[in-house]
Chain A
Amino acid sequence: MDSQRQAYWNRQAGRVARIHNFAWWLAAFLNSALFVCLAFACAVLVFRRSGFVPPALWAIFGSLLVICGAAALWRARSHRFSRRDALVQLDVQMKLHNRLTAAAAGVGDYPPERPVDHGVAWRWRRIFGPLAGGVALILTAIWIPLGSQVASTGSVEIPPALAQVETWIERLEEEKLVDSQKLEETRAKLEALINRPQEEWYGHEGLEAAAHLREQTAQSIQSLQRDMQTAMSALAALQEFGETLSPSAIENIDRALAEAIQGLELGTLPLDKDLLANLKSVDARNLRTLTPEQLEAMQRRLKEGTGVCQTCVGVCVGEGEFAMADPDGPFFRISRGPGSVPLSLNAERTELGSTEVEGIGTGDLSRALPGEVAGLATGEHEVDESAYRGPVAAGAVGSTGEGGDAVWSNSLTPAERETLQKFFQ
């Protein structure tokens, strides 16, 4: 009978011990498992950013969890709950007056069998909190969209300045107006900027470089346009008044034409070689070298070229001044403001149009801050000079007080006073 009871209580004690030991192992494992999940999530993010997640990563993750489990087993060893501990636990929980402990020591019999209350409950939030946190970390690392993937969708537009330069180059290439070799150099500069990381396109440096390239290209096109206009004007004058012009006028036209040709040849974007060669063949002193049809064709070609430049950078309205072709175009859409505010002082103060100066008074002088204007008044101080104030002694005390006056109420904190009152009650 007693051996049956002993077996029963030993079985129950073993169960209680297993619960405690597993709980200790779980407590040690959950912390390290959460750390492993965090590290795995970071690794997944890093590999995803590089574009390739090796399948072995999952195997490493599993191995780490197994190692964590073994380490938790090692750490939980120091908290091992023995069968003897479990008997004491049952004694306490079931108020058995230590009968199980004594019986295990050979004193007295085991108590009769009865349903067992283990006295402990699982703390589910503590168990599932780290588990859910670890799973959430891994899922987040797997599913969260990365910056590189966003960029590869091509949804980021290149800066407007670069787009504009690209348009200009395409147009000039299409019309074969400019020397192709020099145009390629400009295109190389453009591509160097476009090939930079997309995150830097709209950075300060990226925008600055794009704006600079656009400005440089625009100036080159404007210079080309100006020289072509000059050449075109010279050719028109020769064609119309060639026979009637004085030698000095022909000399002037010839000089202007030569300067224009020089500009068209040596500019950053030089004129197409064929067209330039035709222009160079023009001799203002001997117009018979060209037929009127040839002159007209050359003028038409220069006019077309001027029109192309005009569509790119606007109309040349004077020396170095251009009216832009499309004021609402992308060239004007992005602006970084007029620049820094000039930090200069005016010689004269700003007139705000105030007509009356009014003082701000404060009714409660005790709240006035040092330096604050408490009130404004005009006139003399109202001092009664005739009033006798008597001798004034320094260091006089307003009220000497009686012995013990106010000391009682002022020297005790409320807590001290309450304690004393309680004591004397």
Chain B
Amino acid sequence: MTDSPPTGYANETEIDSSSAALKRLRAALNTVLFGQEELIDLVIVGLLSRGHLLLEGLPGLGKTELVKGLSRALQLDASRVQFTPDLLPGDITGNPILQEEGGRRQFVFQPGPLFANLVLADEINRASPKTQSALLEAMQERRVTVMGESHALPDPFFVIATQNPIELEGTYPLPEAQLDRFLFKLEVHRNEVDVLQRIVLQREIGVEPQVDPTLDREGLLALCAVSRRIHLPEVVANYIARLVDATHPGRSTASDGVRFGASPRAALALAATSKARALLGGRMNASFEDVAAVAVPVLQHRLVLDYRAKIEGRTPAQVVRDLLESVPAQDRDLPSTLVAAR
């Protein structure tokens, strides 16, 4: 894998084969989690963009099942950490253990649960800020430093963190600067009656669903590479830039009540996820529609609202939806003699 910008756009053959593989992955995950097609698509888009995901939802909605199914379908090493207030940074990064080898004592690094391709950080907001920052640093740097020695994390490395929107007493809500490191913040909603009925009929407590492996580590990395080579037209990049700029106070009417807007990292995230979504859809280029589809999960956790907006009950997701309404895809004014037809 290279970090330099890709040269040359993905061709039709690559896109067709990638799209077929992704459809198989999507089908496999749909057998794990019923009625959450949109969530599954966004999770796949997040993986293709090599980003970390923050899932928010009530307990029992299938967040952990989704991660487990993902690890099986992708044949990746997975680990799960239940975050608690007394969890220490060393508990997740690993600790040096004093060992005697050949009559000589030395510290040997014992890797922690972070050393896996897919890490499920359950209830991340229950850990102390110190532990949270250790995780978030690892997410950003993709390496862990213990006692002055750096240890690279496996590639690919994805963190899927969860947090509950209830029972917030005694928790440590993630600061905005740390939330910015998550590519997506996805909300897991409750299921409809017909989906619940399907779950009751096809699932049993204590029995994990069978998931067929559809991809391996190399296959996933190849898909990520193809995703990076999806064409992003200049007009779409301009739309992303205008959208992110409009999140700042005073830059648009929709940003009323926003205290701090989104960062350039948000713009990069929008571009990467738009390309990944285009690949998932089997298209050769990212589009305005792709940007609009990923705007809410990319931007909603990066906006800080002021107290007035909070009291009025506005949510960041609403602000983003208003932004999508107020910022036109094409940055051209209409003359007074023309009107946009519906």
> Contact residues of A with B, CB < 8 Å?
19-20, 23-24, 26-27, 30, 79, 81, 85, 88-89, 91-92, 95-99, 101-102, 105, 107-108, 117-123, 126-127, 419-420, 422-423
Contact = CB atoms under 8 A, between A and B. Distances in A.
A107 B285 contact: yes
Given A118-B341, A422-B313, A26 B289 contact: no
Interface string B256-294: 000000000000000000000010010111111110000
Interface stretch (B22-30, B41-49, B209-217, B230-238): B230-238
Given A107-B231, A121-B341, A422-B311, A98 B336 contact: no
Contacts of A85: 330, 332
7 contacts: A23-B337, A88-B330, A95-B289, A99-B285, A105-B231, A107-B231, A423-B311
Given A96-B287, A97-B287, 16 more contacts: A23-B334, A30-B337, A79-B333, A88-B329, A89-B330, A92-B288, A95-B289, A97-B278, A97-B288, A102-B285, A107-B284, A107-B285, A108-B283, A120-B334, A123-B336, A126-B337
B233 A102 contact: yes
Given A89-B330, A105-B233, A27 B337 contact: yes
Nearest to A29: B337
Contact of B339 (A95, A117, A120, A419): A120
| Interface of A, helix, strand, loop or mixed by DSSP | helix
B149 interface: no
Contacts of A119: 340-341
Contacts of B176: none
A121 B338 contact: yes
Nearest to B332: A85
B336 A97 contact: no
A97 B311 contact: no
Contacts of A105: 231, 233
B286 A26 contact: no
9 tightest Cβ-Cβ pairs between the two chains A and B: A102-B285, A97-B287, A98-B287, A108-B284, A27-B335, A107-B231, A23-B335, A121-B341, A23-B338
A13 to B, nearest CB: 13
Contacts of B281: 97
B329 A92 contact: yes
A123 B338 CA distance: 5
B312 interface: yes
B316 to A, nearest CB: 18
A85 B234 CA distance: 12
A318 to B, nearest CB: 84
B12 interface: yes
Contacts of B278: 97
Nearest to B285: A102
B9 interface: yes
A423 B337 CA distance: 46
B38 to A, nearest CB: 18
A419 B338 contact: no
A201 to B, nearest CB: 52
A107 B12 CA distance: 9
B288 to A, nearest CB: 6
Contacts of A123: 336-339
B337 A98 contact: no
Interface string B225-251: 000000101011000000000000000
B19 to A, nearest CB: 14
B311 A120 contact: no
A109 to B, nearest CB: 8
A107 B311 CA distance: 48
Given A98-B235, A98-B288, A419 B312 contact: yes
Given A88-B330, A97-B290, A122 B233 contact: no
Contact of A97 (B285, B332, B337): B285
Nearest to A423: B311
B339 to A, nearest CB: 5
A214 to B, nearest CB: 65
A81 B339 contact: no
Interface string B309-335: 001110000000000000001101111
